[in-house]
């Protein structure tokens, strides 16, 4: 097993936090469920796609650790179906190292991915990190600009009054942009500030920006709100969007 990268840790899982592990490899499933169980989570396990959907329907999880390669129904389809029912954080667990496969997982709504072989300890830390960001922040103030309104406490976002179906990371990314209008951030900055990591595949940021643009821009092919700053990264510019409308 690989040694884990350094991540910020929460030492104990909240009571009754349920994690669904979906993997058809009995050895991997045993290791992952064992580590999560010792970390204090309630752990369910399914070894194929239909079983995963049935488990989720019986006991809706707080997070899903989902293998990409599954018999009967692959992890991408399982992720789509889960996302179609209700928001739930998803960490893709896959033996595939190809960037296209990782991006596919992110495109269907996965919040993170871990590539096999992996450190079980690192996986637990990633579960903690994703769940920590999914918890509501009752004291946080709402933001409203350029037709967008975010309520961090309710984790609710609207555009011109219409509800936005954002994933966990999309919501966090948009909230960060709204808190920092007019400033340009590199992908490394966004990885650190939004994901909380000092390392990672920067294509994760690229995919999430693309998905977010598809939901908040009038024309995602010609983005006005989330602009590309060549050689730097991205800038949220509500004033430029307002100028275009005028």
Query: Would you state the pLDDT for residue 173?
Result: 93
153 within 8 A of 137, measured Cβ to Cβ: yes
Q: How far apart are alpha carbons 153 and 135 in whole angstroms?
A: 9
Average pLDDT over residues 25-39: 93
Q: How far apart are alpha carbons 22 and 32 in whole angstroms?
A: 10
Angle at 150 between CA 205 and CA 104, to 5 degrees: 30
DSSP secondary structure string, 29-90? HHHHHHHHHHTT-EEEEESSHHHHHHHHHHS--SEEEEESS-SSS-HHHHHHHHHHHS---E
The alpha helices in 155-231, defined as continuous H runs, are 168-179, 187-190, 203-216
Query: Would you state the pLDDT for residue 168?
Result: 81
Residue among 161, 170, 165 at smallest CA distance from 84: 165
- In order of their start, the domains of the chain are 18-134 (3.40.50.2300), 143-245 (1.10.10.10)
Question: pLDDT of 52-95, one tens digit each?
Answer: 999 999 999 999 999 988 888 988 899 989 988 888 889 988 77
Confidence of residue 11 (pLDDT cuts 50, 70, 90): very low
């Amino acid at each position: 097993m690989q040694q884990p990268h350094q991540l910020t840790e929460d030492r104990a899982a909240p009571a009754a936090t349920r994690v669904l592990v979906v993997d058809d490899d009995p050895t991997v499933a045993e290791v992952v469920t064992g580590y999560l169980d010792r970390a204090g989570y309630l752990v369910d396990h399914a070894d194929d796609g239909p079983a995963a959907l049935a488990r989720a329907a019986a006991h809706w999880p707080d997070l899903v650790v989902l293998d990409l390669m599954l018999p009967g129904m692959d992890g991408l389809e399982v992720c789509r179906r889960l996302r179609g029912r209700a928001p739930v954080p998803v960490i893709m667990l896959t033996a595939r190292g190809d960037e296209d496969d990782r991006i596919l997982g992110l495109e269907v709504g996965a919040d993170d991915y871990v590539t096999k072989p992996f450190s079980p300890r690192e996986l637990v830390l990633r579960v903690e990190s994703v769940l920590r960001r999914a918890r509501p922040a009752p004291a946080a103030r709402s933001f409203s600009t350029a037709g967008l309104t975010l309520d961090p406490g309710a984790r609710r976002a609207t555009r011109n009054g219409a509800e936005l179906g954002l994933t966990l990371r999309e919501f966090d990314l948009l909230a960060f942009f709204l808190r920092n209008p007019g400033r340009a951030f590199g992908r490394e900055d966004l990885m650190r500030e939004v994901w909380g990591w000092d390392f990672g595949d920067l294509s994760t940021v690229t995919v999430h920006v693309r998905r977010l643009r598809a939901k908040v821009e009038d024309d995602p092919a010609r983005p006005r709100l989330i602009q590309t700053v060549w050689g730097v990264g991205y800038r949220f510019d509500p004033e430029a969007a307002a100028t275009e409308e005028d």
